[in-house]
């Protein structure tokens, strides 16, 4: 019984750790709005595919259990549906947290409403949330305890998930809000303790200031809350000729970050981004640095999509 209580306590503690961070955190959040808000689906009017890998607290080694430092992989997709004034999107993510790993496969749809020179979008997202625990990565007090029963090896549970959001965009401004994990999916792995995903709220916003044709600044923020604890990110990026960018970011209560990136190909459709986080709080419990790599590709625009262009000879040269 003592062993079972100890195991349940470990699982509960780790689950609470996951609750605190629950969803993966990304320094390059401004390039992955579709992950935070389903209403972003298709808003930019182009098809985008993004892949991201994050290695957090490089060199971290847990004192209890195994699994190493957290790592996250994310692939997102978003495309407009012009004929329906809407957009479609989705993502797949894998988040590894020592003995725990989470995997999501989500699809989103958004309806776009034009308001003068701006666009208001309403979105919904549904999918699955899978959580896996590897009991082999725990260091047991008594590995032969019969109370463990089948609590050995790897166990997984899959639950439905849902999110809703709203997003407003103008030429130089944007703001969005969303609510995730509305189904409160519960994972227990056969133990008496039950841990539900808490509903999270996300608020994103940004402003683009153009100094001249070659130079512009992008100021952005991400506020996230589980209605118990709230944190924020603020970022300032400078773009040179839309070819390269660099800037600084700050995550409340944890890290300061350096971001940089470069656009490839003639039409600048392929983008490579990198960020380096430096932990400024609680370094004794973490490693100091985290790295993030991002690759984004904008598919060529479909000339047959959107509104048909009607040309008039009055303004055309002979």
Spans of the chain below 50 pLDDT = 1-21, 146-147, 149, 306, 308-318
Q: Full-prediction pTM beyond 0.85?
A: no
Report the alpha-carbon distance of residue 221 to residue 231 in Å, rounded.
11
Question: How many domains does the chain fold into?
Answer: 1
User: Running DSSP on this structure, what letter comes out for residue 115?
Assistant: E
Question: Distances in Å between the alpha carbon of 179 and those of 48, 165, 282?
Answer: 23, 6, 29
Phi (first) and psi of residue 224, to 5 degrees: -130, 145
In a domain, 307, yes or no: no
In a domain, 55, yes or no: yes
Contact 159, 187 (CB under 8 A): yes
Return the pLDDT at 313: 45
In a domain, 308, yes or no: no
Three-class secondary structure of residue 20 per DSSP:
helix
In a domain, 314, yes or no: no
pLDDT per position as a tens digit, 121-179? 999 999 999 988 877 766 666 656 544 545 567 888 899 999 999 999 998 999 999 99
pLDDT-above-70 percentage for the chain = 76
Contact 206, 30 (CB under 8 A): yes
In a domain, 114, yes or no: yes
Counted residue by residue, the chain has a size of 318
Return the pLDDT at 150: 54
pLDDT per position as a tens digit, 214-243? 999 999 999 999 888 899 999 999 999 999
In a domain, 237, yes or no: yes
CATH code of the domain containing 101: 2.40.160.40
Question: What is the extent of the structural domain holding 86?
Answer: 2-299
Contact 265, 274 (CB under 8 A): no
In a domain, 228, yes or no: yes
In a domain, 168, yes or no: yes
């Amino acid at each position: 019984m003592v062993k079972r209580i100890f195991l349940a306590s470990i699982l509960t503690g780790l689950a609470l750790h996951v609750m605190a961070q629950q969803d993966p955190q990304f320094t390059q959040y401004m390039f992955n709005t579709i992950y935070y808000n389903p209403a972003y689906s298709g808003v930019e009017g182009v098809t985008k595919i993004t892949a991201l890998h994050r290695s957090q607290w490089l060199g971290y080694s847990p004192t209890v259990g195994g699994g190493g430092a957290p790592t996250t992989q994310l692939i997102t997709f978003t495309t407009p549906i012009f004929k329906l004034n809407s957009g479609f999107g989705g993502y797949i993510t894998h988040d590894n947290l020592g003995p725990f790993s989470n995997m999501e496969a989500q699809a989103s749809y958004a309806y776009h409403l034009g308001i003068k020179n701006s666009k208001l979008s309403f979105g919904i997202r549904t999918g699955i949330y899978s959580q896996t625990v590897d009991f082999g990565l725990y260091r047991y007090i008594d590995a032969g305890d019969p109370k463990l029963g089948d609590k050995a090896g790897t166990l997984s549970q899959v639950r439905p998930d849902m999110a809703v959001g709203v997003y407003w965009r103008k030429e130089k401004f944007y703001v969005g809000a969303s609510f995730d994990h509305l189904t409160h999916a519960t994972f227990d792995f056969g133990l008496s303790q039950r841990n539900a995903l808490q509903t999270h709220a996300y608020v994103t916003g940004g402003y683009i200031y153009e100094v001249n044709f070659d130079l512009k600044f992008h100021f952005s923020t991400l506020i996230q809350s589980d209605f118990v604890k709230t944190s924020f990110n603020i970022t300032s990026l400078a773009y040179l000729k839309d070819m390269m960018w660099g800037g600084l970011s700050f995550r409340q209560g944890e890290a300061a970050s350096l971001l940089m990136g470069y656009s490839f190909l003639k039409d600048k459709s392929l983008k490579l981004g990198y960020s380096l986080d430096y932990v400024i709080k609680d370094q004794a419990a973490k490693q100091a640095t985290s790295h993030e790599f991002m690759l984004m590709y904008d598919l060529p625009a479909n000339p047959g999509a959107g509104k048909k262009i009607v040309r008039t000879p009055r303004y055309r040269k002979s």
